[in-house]
Structure formats: C-alpha cells, structure tokens
Amino acid sequence: MCFKIVCNSSLLLLLLFGLNALVSSNNLAGYEGYTKYTLHHDDEAAYRYMVDLQTTDTDVDFWLLSRNMSVLTVAPQLKSQFESRLSQLGVQYQMQPLMELMAALEGNSTSYGDEYEECQSGDCDTQRSHNRQRRQSRGIFGHFPRYHEILNFMSGLANRYPLHCRYESLGRSNEGRHIAGLSISLNQRVRPRRVAYIQAATHGREWITTQTVLYLAYELLTNLRAFQRVLHDVEVFIVPLVNPDGYEYTHTTDRFWRKNRHRYAGHGCTGVDINRNFGNHWNSKGASQNLCSEVYSGVQPNSEPETAAVVRYLEFNRHRVKLSLDVHSFGKFIFYPYGFARGAVPPTVNTLRSVALRAANQIGKYRGTRYTIGTSASILYEASGSLDDFAYGTLGIPLSYTLELPGEEFHVATFDILNVCKETFAGFVEFIRHVSLY
C-alpha cells in the first residue's frame, strides 16, 4: 500500500492558504475528511468490486473507472472499511486528502483576469470592433464562466452574426433555467440538409466541456470563410449546458456534483444522472435505482426535462442529424456505441472507429494529446442510458460518440483552458467534416 503525505511545512502553509480561499467559495464545504484514491487493479475480482461499488454505495464517488485503474473519493465514515477491502483484494493504491489536493490545484491555476471583458446585455452588438471581440473571447476562455455569462456570450454571437447564427432554447431545466442552443450555418435563410449536434455539461462538474463547445462556435463564426467546405450543407447545433442546474450548483455549493437537481418530496437525496436517463436499454447496466446513487437513472426513460429537451430536438430532426457528440470529462477517450453491453457490436463499427481515429489524430497534432478509442463497455464498464447509444441505436444517427476530454480531478488550470479548447476544436472539425458524407 502506498500513502502520500505532505511533510514540508512551507508547502503545507501554502496549501492551507489555498484551502481557506476554496472553502470561502463554499463549493467544497462538505468535503472535509474525504480522501481521493488512485487504484491499480489488474484482477477481475477487484474490477467487479469497483463496478458494484459504483452503483451500490453512496459514500464513494467514482471519477474514473476502467478495467485496470480507478480514481474515486471516499467519505470519512467508509475509509477504514474501504482500505480493509482493498487489502483483501491486493489492490495497490495512492491516497491524498481531497481538500489538500484541491488547494494545491487551485494554487497552480492562474487567471487571465486582465484580459477579461464581460459581455453584458446590450453591449454585444454589431458595432463592436474585431479586436474587442478577440479580447472578450479570450477572456471567457481564461476562466470558467457562470450560467448567465454563458448565455450572454451565446446571444452575443447570435447578435453579431445574425446571417449565420441563431440563438434558441430547447426547453427549461428542473429549476427553470434555459437549455440554450446555437445553430450555426453558412446561411440561416437556407435550411441545411444535415445537422451536427454537439452537447456538453451533461454532468455539472465537467466545466471544461462547456468551454470547448463555446470555443467551437466562436471559431466557426469568426472564421466562416476558412470553414466553408466543412459547413457546406451542414448546420452545427451546439448545446453548451445540458445540465445548467448542476453546473451552477458546482459553482455555489458542491464542486463535484454530477447529476441534475431534481428534488423528490420526502427524500433527502437529489438528482438524476442524465447520462443514464436516455431511453436505450435504460437501467440495464451501470445504472442504479437508488435515488442517492451518483448513477441514479430516474423513474423512467427520458423522465428529466433536460433529457426530454434533447430527445425532442433529436427526434424532430432525426432525418437531418448525422452526428451526435456528447462531450464529457475526463480521461481522454472517444467512445462509440454500444456502451450498454460489452459484447454488443454496432453494424457500422468499422466506420465509427475510422472516424474516431481521424478525429483523435487531429487532436494530437496540436500538442501530442493521445486519446483511447473504443466502446465504453470494453474500455471502462457497461453503462446503459447514454446519449450515444440512444442516438445510434434508437434514432439511427450514423455518427454517434462520447468524447471524454482531459482534466484530471475535473480540473483544468485556467491557463490551460485555451489549449484544451484549441486541440479539441481540431477534433470537432474532423467529426463535422464527415457529416457531409451522409
């Protein structure tokens, strides 16, 4: 067994300083005493224990679960029992107090505050100079914006590029927030035959996903001439915040909140995992009917307003949508269907894999980031009710993927946001480029 202990007093003071700053923001206030574990388990019995633990125990939160490695946090009341079980299974692990880890991560993060220029309502008009647009966009990609700032940025793009961009709402979340979308095409007066649908922030804590999708919109709109061939007869439709309630909650109350914010009368636990709520093999594997579970799948398929909004859009446009891309974090994976069972192989697996390999290759050209490609069931674990299985298996959308971005601990330093956006943009463009083949 491996234990990680900080002994340097000056480092400890630095961590405590950062810790105080974090706790004052209140979104880590409930995590005192929690421990992060990184596990290495090559044994099948240990892997099955992790899979079962994910769906049955509410005192653990898996950040990553693969066949030979897992990253998770454990509540203090379960710590002794958990470590005892790891010893029985012969699992090697490293551990670190969660609050210490987050303080260190915060200390290594640098903001681009001097470049930020907020786009207030009424300020994003067509008279703004190109340089000012550049400063504003660098600003939003130099930190993690809140819900209203994201909507302001989206509406600002629509106002500045009315011939090529339309801002709309697919519906409202459990708490009444807009599930906002942007339609981008060469000419909004002509309805393209094909749609590339891209969504982000299905899980509230995955902040970097929203940034990459916003960056895609910004780069396409400010460089339309360069992407005319890619966008020929293709509409790109982006939804940067599928789970706006969960996203806001991670900023105000619980940094690691995953689910939506559906409240159930008479119950202390809240939320449904939207990525287990889609109606394809719903609740069959890797999901739970325990309301307190991180992978609670809801009372029935497509039960959540956030899920239903996405389903309505995709069903209405099912004959036009050729690409469905669900952006998550973290792990650096590209998954294609099917995720609900390890032995389920889609009939077009060769095409799905080929396109994913091309996208991964384009991402890697920026700074060498490497992605692993396959089904989530074969690489990680079996999980039902995801968007990629629903889009491909139920709606027949030919190109359907889940993209897991970088960002260990769901944290990307602010100075690295733009780099992740730029490398991911190259992958997005490659995916979109293949839409024209259908």
Backbone angles phi, psi at 266, to 5 degrees: 85, 5
Which residues have a Cβ under 8 Å from the Cβ of 266 and sit 6 or more positions away?
none
Among residues 69, 82, 72, the alpha carbon closest in space to that of 42 is found at: 69
CA-CA distances (angstroms) from residue 265 to 220, 300, 392? 44, 17, 35
Determine the angle formed by the axes of helices 417-435 and 349-367, rounding to 10 degrees: 150
| CB-CB contact of 274 with 311 (8 Å) | no
Name residues whose C-beta falls within 8 Å of residue 253's C-beta, 6 or more positions apart in sequence. 26, 27, 29
Cβ proximity of 280 and 394 under 8 Å: yes
Which of 235, 404, 409, 430 is the catalytic position?
A: 404
**DSSP symbol at 260:** -
Under a CB-based contact definition with an 8 Å cutoff, are residues 68 and 381 in contact?
no
Residue 404 annotated in active site: yes
- Would you say 286 and 50 are in contact if contact means Cβ atoms under 8 Å apart? no
Calculate the CA 277 to chain-centre distance: 16
- 30 CB-side CA count, 13 A: 13
Contact 438, 322 (CB under 8 A): yes
Active-site amino acid positions: 404
